[in-house]
Amino acid sequence: MTGFVSFVGAGPGDPELLTLKAVDRLKRADVILYDDLASGPVLLHARPGADLVGVGKRAGRTSPKQHHVSRLLVDYAKGGGRIVRLKSGDGGLFGRLEEELVALREAGIAFEIVPGVASPLAAAAAVGIPLTRRLLARRVQFVSGHDVSGNLPSDLDLSALADPGALTVIFMGKRTFPALAERLIATGLPPDTPAMLAEAVGTPDAAYTRTGVAALAKRLADSPGDAPALIFFGPLADGAADG
């Protein structure tokens, strides 16, 4: 009998941010295929005897190819039982969810999607700021900082990213942000536009640094570091502390 797959959003890493549905699916799973950023204490909810299979991808490290992960997911599901595909944050937000959904649909395997707390929401909550601000930030935009080759995407809408009325959150962009910042400033974004680097969100190693766009670009050009991070810039609210 073909199994059933639950795509579960693990949130940013803090197990207290898991939804009740996510915990239920983890406790009942026979197999859990998990991302690197969705491991650690979150996996303590797995039942004894469940197979735990790491399939995470990290920039700059040897990682499973997406087609291999999708094939593995289909193979486990064809073996029957309850399968959880555990993704960091919310799987529908830069989580390569679509490729895996297509693979399951083509194989005739049933699934559900359990949303998770997205990392930008968790980061903003951690430092006590809103993502939107009345009269100042009516729009929030989420952007990937690199393309499939790891470079800065060539088709970014720079005028939209430089919009003073929008708060922008860059995923996976520490290494490409210096080049992006240079282009944004040339497009008209003030170099001192408020920016925040949010590293290792939802973990004990979380760090949040407030600065300006140009200063952050220089810092990341000198030393990007290895911690997973988000970059915020635009009309950020006051109140977030460095550290």
H-state helical runs in 130-241: 158-161, 177-187, 213-222
Give residue 166's domain range: 119-233
CATH of the domain at 49: 3.40.1010.10
Give yes or no: 35 in active site: yes
Using alpha carbons, select from 37, 83, 44 the residue that is nearest to residue 59: 37
- Catalytic residue chosen out of the listed positions 163, 172, 174, 196: 172
Same domain, 86 and 167: no
Domain presence at residue 240: no
pLDDT tens digits, one per residue of 49-106: 999 999 976 555 556 788 999 999 999 999 999 999 999 999 999 999 999 999 999 9
- Catalytic residue chosen out of the listed positions 35, 163, 174, 196: 35
Using alpha carbons, select from 237, 182, 236, 187 the residue that is nearest to residue 214: 182
Same domain, 153 and 106: no
- Catalytic residue chosen out of the listed positions 21, 24, 36, 57: 57
Q: Is the pLDDT of residue 15 over 70?
A: yes
Give yes or no: 196 in active site: no
3-state secondary structure of 9: strand
pLDDT of residue 1: 72
Look at residues 114, 138, 172 and tell me which one is the last residue of a structural domain: 114
Host H or E run for residue 50: none
pLDDT tens digits, one per residue of 27-52: 999 999 999 888 889 999 999 999 99
Residue 88: how many CB atoms within 10 A of its CB? 27
